[in-house]
């Protein structure tokens, strides 16, 4: 059950790759059987890349810990955000750390509330940097890119802004079921409004992230302290610091 939760969204090939990576790892260590920790490490390797031993001074380690704790605390507090399954300050790929929040089940539909909460979680790393150090790092670049992509989709494709239910993406003629010719684009004045709506969504996410982290500063400090001690927390260990995440209420018809 724990592995299933870790691997929501994995294809069959991803699962096969994960088990192959786990088998290679135990062969290197001359172990006879794959255990849970081997599978955990293999799933992270498939998702984020291999772990890297980088030299960090204590200041950089602490900044990374606060950054990841910012993501994790907000994911725990926001009702429509997915729960934290693992948080780490061990480098993987280009990332200095990561917060792993896979959905608890496959989603076939996205709610506006979910996307808004996800954006707040994405901005949690930058908000934590500003709250603790009154400084910004380049480590938030991927978070900002993802949040911008979500905000743009909400405005341009999903009609989830004050501009209403209209698609603002370039439109192609689709004669004979094929796209051809130059796309029809919106006017410069309307594009300015689209950009303004995207900016507003991101600004609101940033403000909410900062407000919540100020309110839950003690939990932010506690998670950071634990991360600096052990480097990686799984979901159970994280909940021992934060408490159990409240279950989301199902939508009711009005």
> Are the beta carbons of 203 and 123 closer than 8 angstroms?
no
From 40, 62, 68, 114, active-site residue = 68
Tokens in use for 147? 């949040």
Tokens in use for 63? 């900044």
Identify the three-state secondary structure at position 86.
strand
Q: Which residue has the tokens 């810990």?
A: 65
Active-site residue flag, 237? no
Sign for the CA dihedral angle at 192, 198, 202, 205 comes to positive
* Cα 32 from Cα 28, distance rounded (Å): 11
Strands 86-88 and 232-234: antiparallel
Which residues have a catalytic role annotated?
A: 68
């Amino acid at each position: 059950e724990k592995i299933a939760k870790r691997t929501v969204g994995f294809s069959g090939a991803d699962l096969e790759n994960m088990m192959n990576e786990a088998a290679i790892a135990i062969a290197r260590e001359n172990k006879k059987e794959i255990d849970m920790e081997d599978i955990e490490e293999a799933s992270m390797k498939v998702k984020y890349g291999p772990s890297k031993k980088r030299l960090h001074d204590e200041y950089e380690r602490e900044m990374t810990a606060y950054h990841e704790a910012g993501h994790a605390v907000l994911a725990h507090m926001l009702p429509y955000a997915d729960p934290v399954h693992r948080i780490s300050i061990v480098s993987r790929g280009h990332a200095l750390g990561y917060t792993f929040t896979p959905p608890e089940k496959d989603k076939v539909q996205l709610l506006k509330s979910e996307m808004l909460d996800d954006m707040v979680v994405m901005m949690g790393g930058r908000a934590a940097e500003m709250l603790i150090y009154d400084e910004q790092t380049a480590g938030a670049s991927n978070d900002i890119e993802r949040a911008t992509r979500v905000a743009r989709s909400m405005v341009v494709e999903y009609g989830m802004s004050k501009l209403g239910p209209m698609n603002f993406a370039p439109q192609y003629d689709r004669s004979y079921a094929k796209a051809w010719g130059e796309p029809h684009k919106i006017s410069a004045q309307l594009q300015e409004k689209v950009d303004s709506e995207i900016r507003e969504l991101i600004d609101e996410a940033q403000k909410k992230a900062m407000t919540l982290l100020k309110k839950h500063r003690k939990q932010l400090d506690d998670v950071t302290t634990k991360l600096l001690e052990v480097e990686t927390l799984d979901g159970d260990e994280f909940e021992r610091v934060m408490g159990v995440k409240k279950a989301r209420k199902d939508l009711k018809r009005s």
